[in-house]
Amino acid sequence: MDFKSSDTIPGPRTEDRLPHTAEAAVKIVIVGGFGVGKTTMVGSVSEIRPLTTEETMTQAGIGIDDNYGSASKTATTVAMDFGRISITDQLVLYLFGTPGQERFWFLWNGLFEGALGAVVLVDTRRLEVSFDVMGRLEERGVPFVVAVNSFPDAPRYPVAELRTALDLPEEIPILDCDVRRRASSRDVLMTLMRFLHSLAMKGALT
């Protein structure tokens, strides 16, 4: 076996180590189509250089996918980038950027089930790419907000028109963002947290 000796494996840099007081972590999932800016968003707010975790998809998973044809028998690796934000000395927040296709989600146990909520990142040039993702989150009861990553040449729709097109209820926030900017990405996360908080308040009243 050609596993590297344990001395040569790169670990976290000293400044990237969590304090021993770190007790628990929470996670938020950023989901969207290819090239919509998930990794950029993770990178713009993460305190560590974004890392990649991967999972191997077995034959059974590939069988459903006609694109591969029946002759394909090899395993496929699916990668997911993530970053980290220390909230307090005890609490850590992780952000996962995951591909929009649901057949990948089951590869990581409880990726969505345990998440506080999700950000659906959309590109108005390919709005329909995000339709299925939103439907899946609705089915699973995962609260989400919609962030429109503003590409310069993308069509701009008024929020009301976008809400109608996406068939989203009034309470689900839709906001513009530029994920290259830390402040803008942070605002998206804050919007999600405020939304989750409002849901919690509502839940406490009923």
Partner 1 sequence: MTPPQRQRRSPGQEPAAASPSADTSPKEGELRNPERLFVIGGEADGERADIDLVTLIVACADPPVSATPEQAAVLRLCSAPLSVAELSAYLSLPFSVVTVLLTDLLAAELVQARAPIVRQKVADRSLLEAVMHGLQKL
- 150 C-beta neighbours (distance < 10 Å), count: 15
**How many Å apart are CA 165 and CA 48, to the nearest integer?**
37
Instruction: Check residue 150 for interaction with partner 1 (CB under 8 A).
Output: no
Among 59, 159, 161, 180, binds partner 1 (CB under 8 A): 161
Backbone angles phi, psi at 202, to 5 degrees: -65, -40
CB of 195 to partner 1, least distance (A): 10
Exposed (0-12), middle (13-18) or buried (19+): which is 81, by Cβ within 10 Å?
buried
> Cβ closer to partner 1: 4 or 152?
4
Among 63, 106, 180, 199, binds partner 1 (CB under 8 A): 199
DSSP β-bridge partners for residue 14 = none
Instruction: Check residue 117 for interaction with partner 1 (CB under 8 A).
Output: yes
Tell which residue, 116, 96, 123, 127, has the closest CA to residue 190.
116
Site residues for partner 1, 45-64, by CB under 8 A, read 45, 51-56
Site residues for partner 1, 163-182, by CB under 8 A, read 164-169, 182
Among 59, 113, 159, 180, binds partner 1 (CB under 8 A): 113
Site residues for partner 1, 4-23, by CB under 8 A, read 4-6, 9-12, 17-20, 22-23
Tell which residue, 185, 36, 27, has the closest CA to residue 108.
27
Instruction: Check residue 144 for interaction with partner 1 (CB under 8 A).
Output: no
CB of 167 to partner 1, least distance (A): 4
CB of 149 to partner 1, least distance (A): 15
For the chain, the straight-line distance linking the first and the last C-alpha, in angstroms and rounded, comes to: 58
Site residues for partner 1, 66-105, by CB under 8 A, read 66-67, 74-80, 82, 84-88, 91-94, 96, 99, 101, 104
SS3 70: coil
Place of tokens 């029946």: 70
